[in-house]
Amino acid sequence: MRELLELPDTHRIGIVPGSDTGAFEMAMWTMLGARPVTTLAWESFGEGWVTDAAKQLQLDPTVLRADYGAIPDLSQVDWSSDVLFTWNGTTSGVRVPDGEWIADDREGLSFADATSAVFAYHLPWEKIDVATFSWQKVLGGEGAHGILILGPRAVERLESFTPDRPLPKVFRLVSKGKLTEGIFRGETINTPSMLAVEDAIWALEWAKSIGGAKALQQRSDANAAALDRIVQERSWVSHLAADPACRSTTSVCLSVEGQTPTSSRPSRACSRKRAPPTTSRDIATHLPDFASGAAQLSTPQTSRRSGRGSTGPTRKCAPLDDPVLLRRQGPSPFFSRKLGSCLRRNTILQDQRMTQPKVLISDKMDPKAAAIFRERGLQVDEITGKTPEELKAIIGDYDGLAIRSSTKVTQDILDAATNLKVVGRAGIGVDNVDIRLRPHAASS
């Protein structure tokens, strides 16, 4: 991870509970209070940090706000204070343009919520004292873990400042006045999911294999450019973020032209009420999850989040013909019995005309297995007893392969599996799967 992030040795990396939220809250609770606090908010996650700083920590922060689609005047930031901001505004499609606005001679600390920014943008680590994100995020997973990155100035703050508030055990980063270094050497505060760990390792290895940080950033930029071409060709849709310099390439928000909404913050009940017409058709299934963001399906002008990023091939960026909506596609090829869920997560969801993901069951299984896949919207073929050559001839048509003990997943099979996203084994062990290999599909 350090290599892919291009993170200098001066910065520490720790795995902490609670995803990005847990990591950012940990930083706030342990370090804020030594200096005045400035918070920047232009979307729902930034507003969350405003609420926590003001109401939970009662710090009376200075708040710089901007409407959805815009960004505050960064020249107004007072760097004698600690500054909290989101590098990439997930629910508004607006990001900070670069790190030039962060003062080199700052007295306060810079706290960057970098979820949806890491692995997709170049981050100037010398400007960032605290960074957090959700596991590998842009690479396609979360797994409930948070990543906390501390620069030397943040460590100095932790070891010299004692907050005047009680700290929960999961927030404690200091013992006897010194940083708990174990957290930044691979020890975890709680037990992480081993499936999520394998998912992260696999994704990081894949990222390294395609060229590392620069390749990930180039892919993200290419996907954003492809989406922009689609937007430019259509009169009914536009970018919510008008300024290209501040427009996100990973969590794009689009506006369907129409009447100006009366409120940029619809109620959760309203957003969830309007979401089912699309979610019931497997379109825009994540819209209800961002009901605190900009108006989505609750007004004539609809902000639609189109998750791009560093994993999906640019050719997968399909036209946004209403009611089509793109969803993030990232490699998450871990072995799991929940094969159907994995495939649905890694498939670009469009409309009902799109071909459903296909699963091949190549060994005899309980009929319930195929039934579960079909219930989850997958096409299933049960073709058992094939020789390796016969399997090679058909495997290219499938997104998923479900096996027991008979099928041997070798390099030859994977080379032929040009669409394969995941292999799932029903049973204990993966001795018949060469887990040292990587599917061709994961690098295409």
> What is the residue-wise DSSP string for 200-264?
HHHHHHHHHHTTHHHHHHHHHHHHHHHHHHHHHT-TTEEESS--GGGB-SSEEEEEE-SSPPS-S
Average pLDDT over residues 73-96: 95
Average pLDDT over residues 186-212: 84
Weakest mean pLDDT among 83-87, 110-114, 264-268: 264-268
pLDDT (tens digit per residue) in 311-337:
666 655 555 443 333 333 332 222 233
Domain 213-316 in this protein, CATH class: alpha beta
Domain 2-195 sits in CATH 3.40.640.10: yes
Q: Work out the pLDDT band at 63, boundaries 50, 70, 90.
A: very high
59 contacts 50 by C-beta, under 8 angstroms: no
How much is the pLDDT for 426? 87
pLDDT (tens digit per residue) in 376-398:
889 999 999 999 999 999 999 99
Nearest to 308 by CA among 125, 90, 123, 152: 90
How much is the pLDDT for 354? 43
38 contacts 164 by C-beta, under 8 angstroms: no
User: How far is the C-alpha of 319 from the C-alpha of 306, rounded, in Å?
Assistant: 12
Contacts of 174 (CB under 8 A, 6+ apart): 30, 158, 159, 180
Nearest to 114 by CA among 104, 102, 105: 102
pLDDT (tens digit per residue) in 7-57:
999 999 998 988 899 999 999 999 999 999 999 999 988 999 999 999 999
Domain 342-443 sits in CATH 3.40.50.720: yes
Total H helices, total E strands in the chain:
12, 18
How much is the pLDDT for 312? 62
How much is the pLDDT for 434? 80
Nearest to 81 by CA among 40, 126, 48, 34: 34
Would you tell me the crossing angle of helices 19-31 and 44-51 to the nearest 10 degrees?
40
59, two tokens: 């710090």
For tokens 């003062």, what's the residue? 103
Q: Residue 269 above 70 pLDDT?
A: no
User: How far is the C-alpha of 299 from the C-alpha of 112, rounded, in Å?
Assistant: 32
How much is the pLDDT for 280? 44
Average pLDDT over residues 159-171: 92
Half-sphere exposure at residue 137, Cβ-oriented, CA atoms within 13 angstroms: 24
User: How far is the C-alpha of 137 from the C-alpha of 114, rounded, in Å?
Assistant: 10
243, two tokens: 């300024």
Q: Residue 302 above 50 pLDDT?
A: no
Average pLDDT over residues 285-306: 40
Burial class (CB in 10 A: 0-12, 13-18, 19+), 32: buried
Q: Work out the pLDDT band at 196, boundaries 50, 70, 90.
A: confident
In the β-sheet with 237-239, what is the strand arrangement from edge to edge?
A: 237-239, 251-256, 302-307
Alpha carbon 130 to its chain centroid, in Å, reads 19
Weakest mean pLDDT among 150-159, 253-262, 394-403: 253-262
Q: Residue 199 above 90 pLDDT?
A: no
Average pLDDT over residues 50-68: 95
Alpha carbon 24 to its chain centroid, in Å, reads 15
Q: Work out the pLDDT band at 137, boundaries 50, 70, 90.
A: low
Q: Judging by DSSP bridges, how do beta strands 110-113 and 82-86 pair with one another? A: parallel
For tokens 């760990």, what's the residue? 197
Residue type, 302: T
289 contacts 282 by C-beta, under 8 angstroms: no
Three-class DSSP category at 305: strand
For tokens 């060709």, what's the residue? 233
Q: What does the buried/exposed string (b/e) look like for 287-318 if buried means 16 or more CB atoms within 10 Å of the residue's CB?
A: bbebbbbbbbbbbebbbbbbbbbbbbebeebe
Domains in the chain: boundaries: 2-195, 213-316, 342-443
How much is the pLDDT for 234? 86
34 contacts 156 by C-beta, under 8 angstroms: no
How much is the pLDDT for 433? 87
Average pLDDT over residues 338-354: 38
Q: Could you tell me which residue, 292 or 111, shows the higher pLDDT?
A: 111
39 contacts 61 by C-beta, under 8 angstroms: yes
Average pLDDT over residues 61-82: 96
Q: Work out the pLDDT band at 189, boundaries 50, 70, 90.
A: confident
Nearest to 199 by CA among 152, 147, 142: 142
Three-class DSSP category at 97: coil
How much is the pLDDT for 278? 43
Q: First vs last Cα of the chain: how many Å apart?
A: 21
Residue 27: its H or E element: helix 19-31
Weakest mean pLDDT among 243-247, 289-293, 303-307: 303-307
Average pLDDT over residues 46-70: 95
Question: How much is the mean pLDDT over the chain?
Answer: 79
How much is the pLDDT for 235? 85
